[in-house]
Amino acid sequence: QVQLVESGGGLVQAGGSLRLSCAASGRSFGAFVMGWFRQAPGKEREFVARISQSGGGTAYADSVKGRFTISRDNAKNTVYLQMNSLKPEDTALYHCAFSSTWSLSDFRSWGQGTQVTVSS
């Protein structure tokens, strides 16, 4: 069983920063690829970033490259998303997700998500 708890969202002005955290349950956190996805009202789930099991590989959506950084601490069963230079377009409910593969289609989200709202 897996349980994910996201935190760190909030209201921030354009150009500001937030750091999201996702705490995972279980003893096998390091066996999974972890990622962040977001969903805004009226839009479909959108990939944001993912990180390999050991943290050595990362990938980002073009829309966030250079602004967001994903990282993980396997000893703490936690994955992070540092978000800088936030834009109103980043406003969404952010979910962390896990996968046994690198494929985006294999990710599953189990947490409640954390809301990020960016004002202009």
β-bridge mates for residue 47, sequence order: 37
pLDDT tens-digit series, residues 35-45: 999 999 999 99
Task: Provide CB contacts within 8 A for 66, sequence distance 6+.
Answer: none
In sequence order, which residues have a C-beta less than 8 Å from that of residue 114 and are 6 or more positions away? 6, 7, 8, 9, 20, 93, 94
Classified as helix, coil or strand, 119 is strand
- pLDDT exceeds cutoff 90 at 1: no
In the predicted model, what is the mean pLDDT of residues 41-57? 96
